[in-house]
Chains A and B, each alone.
Chain A
Amino acid sequence: MNALASLTGLDKVQPCDDQAVLRERGQREVFCGLTGIVWLHRKIQDAFFLVVGSRTCAHLIQSAAGVMIFAEPRFATAIIDERDLAGLANANDELDKVVTTMFERRPDIKLLFLVGSCPSEVIKLDLSRAAVRLSEKFAPRVRVLSYSGSGIETTFTQGEDACLAALVPTLPQAKTAEAPSLMIVGALADVVEDQFKRLFAALGLDNVHFLPPRSSTALPPIGPNTKYLLAQPFLADTARALEQRGATRIAAPFPLGIEGTTLWLKAAASAWGVDPARFEAVTEAARERGTHALTRYRSELSGRRIFFFPDSQLEIPLARFLARELDMQLVEVGTPYLHRQHLSEELALLPQGTSLSEGQDVDRQLDRCRAAAPDLVVCGLGLANPLEAEGLTTKWAIELVFTPIQGYEQAADLAELFARPLVRRNRLVI
Chain B
Amino acid sequence: MKLTVWTYEGPPHIGAMRIATAMEGVHYVLHAPQGDTYADLLFTMIERRQKRPPVTYSTFQARDLGGDTAGLFKTTVRNAYERFKPQALLVGASCTAELIQDDPAGLTRGLDLPIPVVPLELGAYQHKENWGGAETFYQLVRTLAGPKAPRPGTQRPPRSEGARPLCNIIGPTALGFRHRDDVEEITRLIKSMGIDVNVVAPMGASPADLRRLGDADFNVVLYPEIAGVAASWLQRTFGQPATKTIPIGVSATRSFVEEVAGLAGIDPTAALSDLSTRSAWYTRSVDSTYLTNKRVFVFGDATHAVAAARVAAEELGFNVVGLGTYSREFGREIREAAKIYNVEALISDDYLEVEAAILALQPDLVLGTQMERHISKRLGIPCAVISAPVHVQDFPARYSPQMGVEGANVIFDTWVHPLMMGLEEHLLSMFRDDFEFNDATAPSHLGIPKDGGADRKVPAPTAAAQQSSIVWAPDAETELHKIPFFVRGRARRNTESFARERNVPLITVETLYDAKAHFSR
Please encode chain A, from 18 to 60, with 1 for each CB lying within 8 Å of some chain B CB and 0 for all others.
0000000011111111110000000000000000101110111
Which residues of A lie under 8 Å from residue B59 when comparing CB positions?
A: 26-28
Q: How far is the CA of A66 from the CA of B46 in the complex (A)?
A: 7
Asked if A399 CB lies within 8 Å of chain B CBs, one says no
Asked if B95 CB lies within 8 Å of chain A CBs, one says yes
Among residues 117 to 135 in chain A, which have CB atoms less than 8 Å away from a CB atom of chain B? 118-119, 121-123
B40 to chain A, nearest CB (A): 3
Chain A residue at smallest Cβ distance from B50: A389
Asked if A91 CB lies within 8 Å of chain B CBs, one says yes
Q: Contacts A27-B56, A77-B4 hold; do A152 and B125 have CB atoms under 8 A apart? A: no
A54 touches B95 (CB 8 A): yes
Q: Contacts A70-B374, A118-B96, A151-B35 hold; do A56 and B44 have CB atoms under 8 A apart? A: no
Q: Contacts A381-B44, A382-B41 hold; do A67 and B35 have CB atoms under 8 A apart? A: no
Q: How far is the CA of A119 from the CA of B34 in the complex (A)?
A: 12
Chain A residue at smallest Cβ distance from B374: A70
A24 to chain B, nearest CB (A): 11
Please encode chain A, from 54 to 77, with 1 for each CB lying within 8 Å of some chain B CB and 0 for all others.
111011101110111010110011
Q: Contacts A32-B35, A55-B128, A122-B96 hold; do A381 and B6 have CB atoms under 8 A apart? A: no
Which residues of B lie under 8 Å from residue A59 when comparing CB positions?
A: 7, 10-11, 14
Which residues of B lie under 8 Å from residue A81 when comparing CB positions?
A: 1-2, 125-126
Which residues of A lie under 8 Å from residue B2 when comparing CB positions?
A: 78-79, 81, 98
Q: How far is the CA of A54 from the CA of B125 in the complex (A)?
A: 7
Q: Contacts A64-B38, A386-B44 hold; do A98 and B3 have CB atoms under 8 A apart? A: yes
Asked if A101 CB lies within 8 Å of chain B CBs, one says yes
The 8 Å CB contact of A389, one of B1, B40, B51, is B51
Which residues of B lie under 8 Å from residue A82 when comparing CB positions?
A: 125-126
Asked if A80 CB lies within 8 Å of chain B CBs, one says yes
B11 touches A55 (CB 8 A): yes
Q: How far is the CA of A62 from the CA of B7 in the complex (A)?
A: 8
Please encode chain B, from 100 to 138, with 1 for each CB lying within 8 Å of some chain A CB and 0 for all others.
100000000000000000000000111010000000000
A78 touches B52 (CB 8 A): no
Asked if B99 CB lies within 8 Å of chain A CBs, one says yes
Which residues of A lie under 8 Å from residue B11 when comparing CB positions?
A: 54-56, 59
Asked if A84 CB lies within 8 Å of chain B CBs, one says yes
Please encode chain B, from 369 to 389, with 1 for each CB lying within 8 Å of some chain A CB and 0 for all others.
010001001100000000000
Among residues 360 to 414 in chain B, which have CB atoms less than 8 Å away from a CB atom of chain A? 370, 374, 377-378, 391-392
Asked if B448 CB lies within 8 Å of chain A CBs, one says no
A80 touches B125 (CB 8 A): yes
Which residues of B lie under 8 Å from residue A384 when comparing CB positions?
A: 44-45
B33 touches A151 (CB 8 A): yes
Residue among A60, A98, A102 with most chain B CB within 10 A: A60
Chain B residue at smallest Cβ distance from A390: B50
Asked if B61 CB lies within 8 Å of chain A CBs, one says yes
Asked if B502 CB lies within 8 Å of chain A CBs, one says no
Which residues of B lie under 8 Å from residue A27 when comparing CB positions?
A: 37, 56-59, 76
B44 touches A385 (CB 8 A): yes
Which residues of A lie under 8 Å from residue B159 when comparing CB positions?
A: none
Chain A residue at smallest Cβ distance from B96: A118
Give the size of the chain A interface in residues (CB under 8 angstroms): 62
B41 touches A381 (CB 8 A): yes
A29 touches B37 (CB 8 A): yes
A60 touches B35 (CB 8 A): yes
Q: Contacts A363-B83, A381-B45 hold; do A85 and B125 have CB atoms under 8 A apart? A: yes
The 8 Å CB contact of A95, one of B1, B13, B392, is B1
Q: How far is the CA of A150 from the CA of B65 in the complex (A)?
A: 13
B21 to chain A, nearest CB (A): 12
Q: Contacts A26-B59, A119-B96, A152-B60 hold; do A382 and B37 have CB atoms under 8 A apart? A: yes
Which residues of B lie under 8 Å from residue A77 when comparing CB positions?
A: 3-4, 7
A149 to chain B, nearest CB (A): 9
Q: How far is the CA of A3 from the CA of B13 in the complex (A)?
A: 39
B33 touches A68 (CB 8 A): no
A118 touches B33 (CB 8 A): yes
Which residues of B lie under 8 Å from residue A233 when comparing CB positions?
A: none
Q: How far is the CA of A380 from the CA of B14 in the complex (A)?
A: 19
A150 touches B99 (CB 8 A): no
A152 touches B1 (CB 8 A): no
Which residues of A lie under 8 Å from residue B128 when comparing CB positions?
A: 55
Q: How far is the CA of A63 from the CA of B7 in the complex (A)?
A: 10
Which residues of A lie under 8 Å from residue B126 when comparing CB positions?
A: 81-82
Please encode chain A, from 179 to 199, with 1 for each CB lying within 8 Å of some chain B CB and 0 for all others.
000000000000000000000
B49 to chain A, nearest CB (A): 7
A76 touches B38 (CB 8 A): no
Among residues 1 to 29 in chain B, which have CB atoms less than 8 Å away from a CB atom of chain A? 1-7, 9-11, 13-14
Q: How far is the CA of A81 from the CA of B3 in the complex (A)?
A: 11
B36 touches A151 (CB 8 A): yes
Residue among B41, B42, B60, B62 with most chain A CB within 10 A: B41
Q: How far is the CA of A76 from the CA of B58 in the complex (A)?
A: 27
Q: How far is the CA of A323 from the CA of B83 in the complex (A)?
A: 34
Which residues of B lie under 8 Å from residue A91 when comparing CB positions?
A: 1
Q: How far is the CA of A84 from the CA of B126 in the complex (A)?
A: 11
Which residues of A lie under 8 Å from residue B94 when comparing CB positions?
A: 56
Which residues of B lie under 8 Å from residue A52 when comparing CB positions?
A: 1
Please encode chain A, from 378 to 417, with 1 for each CB lying within 8 Å of some chain B CB and 0 for all others.
0011111110010000000000000000000000000000
Q: How far is the CA of A32 from the CA of B95 in the complex (A)?
A: 15
The 8 Å CB contact of B38, one of A55, A60, A97, A385, is A60
B38 touches A80 (CB 8 A): no
The 8 Å CB contact of B49, one of A26, A84, A386, is A386
Please encode chain B, from 332 to 370, with 1 for each CB lying within 8 Å of some chain A CB and 0 for all others.
000000000000000000001000000000000000001
The 8 Å CB contact of B35, one of A31, A58, A102, A385, is A31
Which residues of A lie under 8 Å from residue B10 when comparing CB positions?
A: 55-56, 59
Among residues 47 to 79 in chain B, which have CB atoms less than 8 Å away from a CB atom of chain A? 48-52, 56-62, 64-65, 76, 79
B7 touches A58 (CB 8 A): yes
Q: How far is the CA of A52 from the CA of B44 in the complex (A)?
A: 28
The 8 Å CB contact of B45, one of A29, A118, A385, is A385
Residue among A58, A60, A118, A152 with most chain B CB within 10 A: A118
Q: List 13 A-B contacts (CB under 8 A).
A: A35-B35, A54-B124, A59-B11, A59-B14, A63-B39, A79-B1, A81-B125, A119-B96, A151-B35, A152-B34, A382-B44, A384-B45, A386-B52
B residues near A (Cβ < 8 Å) are 1-7, 9-11, 13-14, 33-42, 44-46, 48-52, 56-62, 64-65, 76, 79, 83, 94-96, 99-100, 124-126, 128, 352, 370, 374, 377-378, 391-392
